[in-house]
Structures are given as structure tokens and as C-alpha cells.
């Protein structure tokens, strides 16, 4: 048998896996499309019509490479936040930025703290650099700030991850609690504060913008409230030296010309964002009502999805999810112990939520053996 080039020791030990099996892969395996795509926390309403028009205008320009400095989008983002351009870095969605952060602050064997059941792509990146994940259970369906802080101190962790609002539970902490958590962290621990859903929750959940702290990186995206998940574009903001450190390893040509233009246009249409936030709130209420009508418990949400307590254990919630999938309704569920009693349903278009409402009673009956 021929020899092959060896992998690095870290990569050689990793399983062949991805954080999520996408709906497209499931459709290929099933041999048919989903009737309702309400499981990936996408914004079914799509981007602003002004964004679509701007993207059409520049379609012909895609023969050019992107601006590797992402300059215009950084200027627009800095103005939106009220910070300097030197406080902004743009990346291939929050996922891409998380990969950079893992490389910047964690090495083989280093403890990295996160919540058990929190966004798995962060864990995926930590594993890729050989970091050692230390997970803290949720408390009352929220990430435990005290538990995370205790783990950071105990493990002398160089990196900790917190999402607010949270995925997969939709829960959130108010800004004053987040501020207290930040202030209590060791100066040598970098906090990644993932605010992917920040525009969709209460304004009171977002701390004031402060780019003076050298151990805080806040991340936001165009994938959720702005309806641009397909372009893969997000940004981080923080202290200027922290942002300069991204320049050492970021993929300078990773964010396409189209993505940069779309992000800039999205920020310019805040009226559309306000409409979307209202539509999402109405959609959350609709999903909660469907859950209530079927004897389930919807959890309060500050995101574009609602997590629903199915009233049983993980096996029962798994049956509910599989039952929906078998009826061509794409949803997902948390997998961590204690959270796995739930399913998670994204806000979708009216006809998609109609399908969910129509199918849920039969799915529940089948899951209960009735």
C-alpha cells in the first residue's frame, strides 16, 4: 500500500464530522425536498429589496477580486456602531471569525470554556487547534454565567465563549448581567461574546458598545436579522490591537465582493430591519400559540426561533423531530442532556407555519403511541 503524507497530530485524531448536517444533505438522502424549511434559523423573509437591487447592480463586477481590506463595509459598520474602523474586522460569517479566534487564543491542551449544548461550530474550531473543551451545564435553560466564570478561574482558561441571545434555547441575559460577567473575568481570558441574534432580542440585552477592553471580542452577523445567511458575512468589534491581531491569520480574500456590497447595503436599510424584527416577533408568537394549542411549553425567545419543551425526555423530543422530518417539515432540536427534551422551530413564512400547525398534532400522537 502506498504511503501518504501524514496529517498533523491534532488533525489525525479528529473524527470526520461536521457541526451540522444541512437540510440539503437531508433532502438528497431522502430524495425529496422539505415543504417547510424551519430548522436552520434562517430569515425566510429574505434581505431588504434595496439589498437585492444593489446586489443585482454589481453582479457584473464579480469578475474582480474583492477588496481584501473590506474597507467600505468596515467604514459602514464602524459608523453603525459608533466606533473607529480600526475596531472592526470582517469575516466569513461568525463561523469564520470563531475559527480565527480559536487559532489566536487556544493551543494544544489549552482549556477552552463554553456551555454544554451551546453553538457547536465553536467546539469544532477548538478541536481543530487541539484545545481542551470544558463545558458548563445550562441552568434554567440559560447559559450559566457563574458556572462559566468558575470554570474559567478553575482551569485558567485563555478563552471562553458566550452567546447572548442564546442558541439553541433562545434565552438571554440582560446587559447589566453581561457587564458584570465581563468585569469579573481574568484579564488573561478572552471572551467571545456571540451576538448573532442581537438585533432580534430586546435592546436591553446588548451592553453598550465599548472597545476599550483587550479581553473582549463581540461578534455579529448578516445571516440572521438581515436575511443574508447565504453570503457568509459577519464582523467582530473590539479593542484596536485585538482587531489588528486578526490581520496575522485572517483570509484576506475570504469575503466576496458581493458579500461586502450586500452587507453595506443591509446596514443602510434600517427601516427594513425594523420591519423584519416585527415580523419575527409575530412569528415567534405564532409558533408559541401552536405549541400551547398542542399542550407543549414554548420557551421565551429573543431570537428568530422558538424552543419548545415537549414535556418528556430526549427520546420523546427526538421522536417528535423525526416525525416532523418524515412529514417533510425540517426542524431541529437541542442535543445536550437537559436541553434535549425540546425541539427548535425557526420563524418561517406563513404557509410554512401553517404546515407545522397542521402536522404537529399527528406527530405528537404518533410519538405518544396513540
Rounded Cα distance, 23 and 72, in Å:
33
Q: Mean per-residue pLDDT for 226-254?
A: 97
Instruction: Write down the pLDDT at residue 24.
Output: 94
Instruction: Write down the pLDDT at residue 96.
Output: 97
- Three-state SS for 365? helix
Class of domain 50-268: alpha beta
291 CB neighbour count, 10 Å cutoff: 23
**Of residues 21 and 174, more confidently modeled:** 174
Kindly tell me if the per-residue pLDDT of 43 is higher than 90: yes
CATH number of 9-46+271-367: 3.90.1150.10, 3.30.2310.20, 3.20.20.70, 3.40.1190.20? Answer: 3.90.1150.10
Instruction: Write down the pLDDT at residue 369.
Output: 92
Q: Which residue bears the cell 491542551?
A: 109
Instruction: Write down the pLDDT at residue 272.
Output: 98
Instruction: Write down the pLDDT at residue 302.
Output: 98
Give the cell for residue 156: 485558567
Q: What residues contact residue 183 under an 8 Å CB cut-off, 6+ apart? A: none
Q: Mean per-residue pLDDT for 221-238?
A: 98
264 CB neighbour count, 10 Å cutoff: 21
Q: What is the pLDDT of residues 338-358, one digit of tens each?
A: 999 999 999 999 999 999 999
Q: Where in the chain is the domain with CATH 3.40.640.10?
A: 50-268
Three-state DSSP string of 293-343: HCCCEECCCCCCEEEEECCCCHHHHHHHHHHHHHCCEECECCCCCCCCCEE
Write the burial class of residue 138 (CB in 10 Å: 0-12 exposed, 13-18 middle, 19+ buried). Answer: buried
Rounded Cα distance, 47 and 276, in Å:
9
Kindly tell me if the per-residue pLDDT of 370 is higher than 80: no
Kindly tell me if the per-residue pLDDT of 180 is higher than 80: yes
Mean pLDDT score across all residues of the chain: 97
Confidence of residue 260 (pLDDT cuts 50, 70, 90): very high
Whole-structure pTM value: 0.96
Instruction: Write down the pLDDT at residue 198.
Output: 98
Confidence of residue 17 (pLDDT cuts 50, 70, 90): confident
Instruction: Write down the pLDDT at residue 334.
Output: 97
Q: What is the pLDDT of residues 109-157, one digit of tens each?
A: 999 999 999 999 999 999 999 999 999 999 999 999 999 999 999 999 9
Instruction: Write down the pLDDT at residue 234.
Output: 98
Kindly tell me if the per-residue pLDDT of 19 is higher than 90: no
Kindly tell me if the per-residue pLDDT of 182 is higher than 80: yes
Instruction: Write down the pLDDT at residue 331.
Output: 98
Whether the link from the prior residue into 165 is cis, omega within 30° of 0, is: yes
Rounded Cα distance, 138 and 339, in Å:
8
Rounded Cα distance, 347 and 357, in Å:
13
Provide, rounded to the nearest whole percent, the portion of the chain with pLDDT above 70.
100
Instruction: Write down the pLDDT at residue 20.
Output: 81
Amino acid at each position: 500500500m502506498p504511503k501518504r503524507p501524514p496529517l498533523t497530530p491534532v488533525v489525525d485524531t479528529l473524527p470526520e464530522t461536521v457541526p451540522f448536517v444541512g437540510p440539503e444533505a437531508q433532502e438528497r438522502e431522502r430524495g425529496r425536498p422539505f415543504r417547510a424549511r424551519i430548522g436552520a434559523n434562517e430569515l425566510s423573509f429574505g434581505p431588504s429589496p434595496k439589498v437585492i437591487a444593489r446586489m443585482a447592480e454589481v453582479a457584473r463586477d464579480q469578475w474582480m477580486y474583492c477588496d481584501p481590506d473590506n474597507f467600505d463595509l468596515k467604514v459602514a459598520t464602524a459608523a453603525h456602531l459608533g466606533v473607529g474602523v480600526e475596531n472592526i474586522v470582517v469575516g466569513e460569517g461568525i463561523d469564520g471569525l470563531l475559527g480565527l479566534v480559536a487559532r489566536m487564543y487556544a493551543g494544544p491542551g489549552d482549556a477552552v470554556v463554553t456551555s454544554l449544548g451551546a453553538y457547536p461550530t465553536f467546539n469544532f474550531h477548538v478541536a481543530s487547534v487541539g484545545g481542551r473543551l470544558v463545558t458548563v451545564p445550562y441552568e434554567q435553560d440559560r447559559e450559566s454565567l457563574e458556572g462559566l466564570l468558575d470554570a474559567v478561574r478553575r482551569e485558567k482558561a485563555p478563552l471562553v465563549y458566550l452567546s447572548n441571545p442564546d442558541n439553541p434555547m433562545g434565552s438571554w441575559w440582560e446587559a447589566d448581567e453581561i457587564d458584570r460577567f465581563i468585569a469579573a473575568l481574568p484579564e488573561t481570558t478572552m471572551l467571545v461574546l456571540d451576538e448573532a441574534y442581537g438585533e432580534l432580542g430586546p435592546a436591553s440585552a446588548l451592553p453598550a458598545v465599548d472597545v476599550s477592553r483587550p479581553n473582549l471580542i463581540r461578534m455579529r452577523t448578516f445571516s440572521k436579522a438581515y436575511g443574508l445567511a447565504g453570503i457568509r458575512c459577519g464582523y467582530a468589534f473590539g479593542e484596536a490591537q485585538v482587531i489588528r491581531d486578526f490581520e496575522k491569520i485572517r483570509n484576506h480574500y475570504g469575503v466576496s465582493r458581493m458579500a461586502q456590497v450586500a452587507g453595506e447595503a443591509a446596514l443602510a436599510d434600517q427601516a427594513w430591519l425594523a420591519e423584519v424584527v416585527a415580523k419575527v416577533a409575530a412569528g415567534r408568537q405564532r409558533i408559541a400559540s401552536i405549541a400551547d394549542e398542542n399542550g407543549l411549553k414554548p420557551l421565551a425567545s429573543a431570537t428568530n426561533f422558538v424552543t419548545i419543551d415537549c414535556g418528556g425526555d430526549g427520546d420523546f423530543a427526538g421522536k417528535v423531530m423525526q416525525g416532523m422530518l418524515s412529514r417533510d417539515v425540517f426542524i431541529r432540536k437541542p442535543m445536550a442532556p437537559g436541553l434535549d427534551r425540546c425541539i427548535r422551530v425557526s420563524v418561517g413564512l406563513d404557509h410554512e407555519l401553517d404546515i407545522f400547525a397542521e402536522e404537529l398534532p399527528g406527530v405528537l400522537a404518533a410519538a405518544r403511541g396513540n
